[in-house]
Amino acid sequence: MLRARVLLMAAVAVLCSTVAASAQDGGVTVPRKSMFAKLISAEKVEASAALQYDQMTRQAFQKSALLEDYDPQVKRVRAIFEDLYPFTFKFNERAKDWKWEVNVLKSPSINAFCMPGGKIAFFTGILDKLQLTDDEVAMIMGHEMGHALWEHARERAAKVNLTNISSRVIGGLLFGQAGEMIGAAGSSLAALKFSRNDETEADLIGLELAARAGYDPRAGITLWKKMASAAQGAPPAWFSTHPSNATRITTIEKNLPIVMPLYEKAKAAKG
């Protein structure tokens, strides 16, 4: 038993190791994906996410909480997504084959997420209460897309499975058992809590996606200041899965010299 435990811990140590990926085309440097992710089929996790997302949007529609395609808010976030999408392939080639979806749900909750396979949802609360600019929306969307592109949910599922913590949770991730709605929407894959490293990686990816798409990456700083202000009362739902701390702004500031040239180039191309 002891020998088996030692072998397991050794395997965990190997799988936990990451190798720094070199920046390409003047972009940010993001650690390579954890080897943990390879322990679980990407197709299974993405299929589960698709089922959960479908259930979530159907329930929202039944409650008149799913905004119509012609709604200005829907058009706005989808237009921003279209700008960011072409730059996702650098971070995950499979993103070309994902059936991306972007929807807006009527809920006062300050929340947004992107599930595996490109299933994106914004709540009206985060758009309206924070009075987000397009640049800030792009930063949030890029961050959420970063989680999906870097397969953080797949990695978390593998870690849970490997360490045998909560078979019920992993069962939900793999077999599409959607969780209860949170307000107007929500599910187990949409409500995952990521590690600090995951959050930093998603911040970096989002920063580059936004910059390459012509959105001012400095908006990441104003965004987190708005989130901190909103958290002075009841913490926004986004904080439950996206812990905020001063290091996030520091990370953004540290990488601004890298991404600002990308932003300026994209801005000039747009005329």
Residue 81 forms part of a structural domain: yes
Q: Which amino acid is at 2?
A: L
What does each of the 271 residues of the chain score in pLDDT, given as a tens digit?
Answer: 433 343 333 344 334 434 344 455 678 888 776 665 566 777 888 888 899 899 999 999 999 999 999 999 999 999 999 999 999 999 999 999 999 999 999 999 888 999 999 999 999 999 999 999 999 999 999 999 999 998 877 777 665 655 544 444 434 443 333 333 333 333 455 555 677 888 889 999 999 999 999 999 999 999 988 888 876 655 555 555 555 667 788 889 999 999 999 999 999 988 7
- Residue closest to 146 by CA, chosen among 204, 78, 90, 186: 204
Predicted structure pTM score: 0.78
User: What sign does the dihedral 18-20-25-27 (CA atoms) show?
Assistant: positive
Identify the active-site residue in 46, 101, 136, 144.
Answer: 144
For residue 200, being part of any structural domain is answered with yes
Residue at 25 is within a domain:
no
In this structure, are residues 177 and 60 in contact, taking their beta carbons and an 8 Å threshold? no
Range of the domain at 197: 37-270
The total of structural domains in the chain comes to: 1
28 inside domain: no
Name the E strands within the chain: 101-105, 112-115, 119-123
The pair of three-digit structure tokens given for residue 190, joined into one six-digit string = 């949409």
The verdict on residue 31 lying in a domain is no
144 is known as an active-site residue: yes
Q: How far apart are CA 123 and CA 105, in angstroms?
A: 5
Determine how many CB atoms are found less than 10 A away from the CB of residue 244. 16
